Amino acid sequence: MTATKWEAVIGLECHVQLATETKAFSASASIYGAPPNSCTDPTVLGLPGALPVVNRRQIELALTLGLATGSTLRRRSRFSRKHYFYPDLPKGYQISQFDEPLCEHGTVEFVVDGVPRSVRLTRIHLEEDAGKNLHRAKRSLVDLNRAGVPLVEIVSEPELRSAEEAGEYMRTLRQLVRWLGISDGNMEEGSLRCDANVSLRPVGATTLGTKAELKNINSFKFVERAIEHEIARQTAILDAGGRVVQESRLWDADAGTSHAMRSKEEAHDYRYLPDPDLPPLVIDEEWIDRARAALPELPTARRQRLVAEYGLTVADARVLTEERALADWFEAAARAHGDGKRVSNWVQSELLRELNRDARTIDACPIRPEALAALLRLIDDGTISGKIAKEVFTKMYASGDAPGVIVEREGLVQVTDTSAIETAARAAIDANPKQAEQYRAGKTQMIGFFVGQVMKATGGKANPAAVNEVLARLLGA
């Protein structure tokens, strides 16, 4: 028996918190990390008599995601109440969308091992988050700050075939929601959460096997591990001739394993009811047009354009489109300078190194894109050498000063005066007769040694082209 006998069938349900200032159905602030129960109001607390009112911002953000995934947008959708009792659910029901979700039939495209993949989305619907129960030794506490925070639930078709694909799908989704500015996609803070439906079937089969639902995959690291673990668990059961039980399983990241949830925890009849407090959500064409107009160029299109427009490699374009702000930064610099390929090299080697070291995002970058372009122009016009430019770059990053200012202040202007270079070159040749002999005997790569000597003598400020030319002339004589 081998694992290759089985094919994994995986569908993901991802919950993404929308980055609104207030909650889904009330004007209560929505701030992560605020003191417990401070982001509440009568509606969030589910007090008697309190009513929900739709926060239109959440609709705009969801529409953006719907458009970006090529979903069909329902012009008239409905909020429903999903009932269950739990202390973190103040009203005894969650406002969600059931039979009439906002978005359907979208797709998410990504690449696994260089191969493009496309996964269809069943639906994207809006719902409100629940609060959090905090369990202490003898009692439990409830923090309702998170209650009522707007979410979109993105449900994929069961079209993922491996943990790796699922991981890549998740990374793509995360990049997309961040790119669109609709969520920070931060799994550690719970802005992005994922449940995975996993089943196995014999390779070549077209029907679905019995699935288990993996809940609580709340860290990016664990998406793949949890699914791999589940595939291995089901493989072992099926290989041994057993049957997979349909159940919900809770992923325990600390133990690296999952356990079945008690049937009571999942035996819900949600008694869906169209929410009589909320009229149907009607999306007119104008609203969609506005959302479409505000839609940024999407990552895939942007990558393709960067390759075409700036002559970048696909790999370079991929790095530069990790974040929309980075791509924007790159393009601003590339446009200001003109040579996108060189700008790309500088961004990837110098800029990202500095940012990564400081764990800074591009938004917090002290260097403006125009300043990088100015720095490259100083190389182009021979004012400084490439080597000096890297020093200048470090100083720009540290101080935020313009490159010209740094070059001036530190006396880094390149020496192009041939007489000064000639003096240094003569001195180097005189001091190293043996090496000069070798060069003349045909070992022309020795010129590098002399270039080094001259650069050292001039503090790196000599123009390398001029140095080469002078040395070749003097050594050749």
Partner 1 sequence: MTELSHLPAWRLAELVAAREVSARELATLHLARIARADAALGAFLLVDEAGALGRADRIDAALARGEQPGPLAGVPLALKDIFVTRGIATTVASRILAGWIPPYDGTAVARLYAAGANLLGKLNMDEFAMGSSNENSSVKPCRNPWDLTRVPGGSSGGSAAAVAAGLCAGSLGTDTGGSIRQPAAFCGLVGMKPTYGRVSRYGVVAFASSLDQVGPMTRNVRDAALLLQAIAGHDPHDATSIDAPVPDYRAACERGARGLGGLKIGLPAEYFVDGGGINPEVERAVRAGIARLEDAGATVVPVSLPHTKYAVACYYLVATAEASSNLARYDGVRFGHRAEGTGSLLELYCKSRGEGFGPEVKRRIMLGTFALRSGHYDAYYRKAQQVRALIKRDFDEAFTQVDLIATPATPTAAFRLGEKAADPLAMYLADIFTISCNLAGLPGVSVPCGFTEAGLPIGLQLIAPPLCEEQLFTAAAAHELATDFHTRRPPELA
Least separation in angstroms between CB 264 and partner 1? 8
Contact set for partner 1, span 189-218 (CB under 8 A): none
3-state secondary structure of 383: coil
Q: Cα(189)–Cα(34) distance, rounded to whole angstroms?
A: 13
Q: Tell me whether residue 93 or residue 310 sits nearer to partner 1 (CB atom).
A: 93
Least separation in angstroms between CB 61 and partner 1? 19
Q: Does 276 bind partner 1 (CB under 8 A)?
A: yes
Cβ 451 vs Cβ 439: under 8 Å:
no
Q: Does 36 bind partner 1 (CB under 8 A)?
A: no
Kindly give the interhelix angle for 447-457 and 433-440, rounded to the nearest 10 degrees.
140
Instruction: Identify the residue among 32, 270, 287, 449 touching partner 1 (CB under 8 A).
Output: 270
Q: Does 1 bind partner 1 (CB under 8 A)?
A: no
Give the number of other CB atoms < 10 A from CB of residue 401.
Answer: 17
Least separation in angstroms between CB 269 and partner 1? 5
Q: Does 262 bind partner 1 (CB under 8 A)?
A: no
Q: Cα(144)–Cα(352) distance, rounded to whole angstroms?
A: 39
Which of the stretches 179-187, 263-271, 354-362, 415-423 binds partner 1 when contact is defined by CB under 8 A?
263-271
Q: Is 156 left (phi over 0), alpha (psi -120 to 50) or beta?
A: beta
Cβ-Cβ contacts under 8 Å for 268 (sequence gap 6 or more): 84
Q: Does 284 bind partner 1 (CB under 8 A)?
A: no
Residue found by looking up tokens 């998406």 in the block: 223
Q: Cα(312)–Cα(318) distance, rounded to whole angstroms?
A: 10
Q: Tell me whether residue 281 or residue 467 sits nearer to partner 1 (CB atom).
A: 281
Contact set for partner 1, span 427-446 (CB under 8 A): none
Instruction: Identify the residue among 56, 76, 87, 409 touching partner 1 (CB under 8 A).
Output: 87
Q: Does 78 bind partner 1 (CB under 8 A)?
A: no
Q: Does 319 bind partner 1 (CB under 8 A)?
A: no
Q: Does 81 bind partner 1 (CB under 8 A)?
A: yes
Q: Tell me whether residue 262 or residue 290 sits nearer to partner 1 (CB atom).
A: 262
Q: Cα(17)–Cα(336) distance, rounded to whole angstroms?
A: 36
Cβ 235 vs Cβ 6: under 8 Å:
yes
Q: Does 263 bind partner 1 (CB under 8 A)?
A: no
Cβ 63 vs Cβ 283: under 8 Å:
yes
Cβ 143 vs Cβ 131: under 8 Å:
yes
Q: Tell me whether residue 32 or residue 98 sits nearer to partner 1 (CB atom).
A: 98
Q: Does 188 bind partner 1 (CB under 8 A)?
A: no
Q: Tell me whether residue 46 or residue 404 sits nearer to partner 1 (CB atom).
A: 46
Size, binding site for partner 1 by CB under 8 A: 29
Q: Cα(328)–Cα(181) distance, rounded to whole angstroms?
A: 14
Q: Tell me whether residue 81 or residue 174 sits nearer to partner 1 (CB atom).
A: 81
Q: Cα(164)–Cα(111) distance, rounded to whole angstroms?
A: 11
Residue found by looking up tokens 């993105």 in the block: 154
Q: What is the DSSP letter of 145?
A: S
Instruction: Identify the residue among 245, 273, 301, 427 touching partner 1 (CB under 8 A).
Output: 273
Instruction: Identify the residue among 265, 277, 358, 380 touching partner 1 (CB under 8 A).
Output: 277
Instruction: Identify the residue among 1, 31, 47, 111 touching partner 1 (CB under 8 A).
Output: 47
Measured CA distances, 175 to 48, 115, 474 (Å): 40, 18, 57
3-state secondary structure of 197: strand
Residue found by looking up tokens 């506005």 in the block: 290
Q: Does 91 bind partner 1 (CB under 8 A)?
A: yes
Binding site for partner 1 (CB under 8 A): 42, 45-54, 81, 83, 85, 87, 90-93, 142, 269-273, 276-279
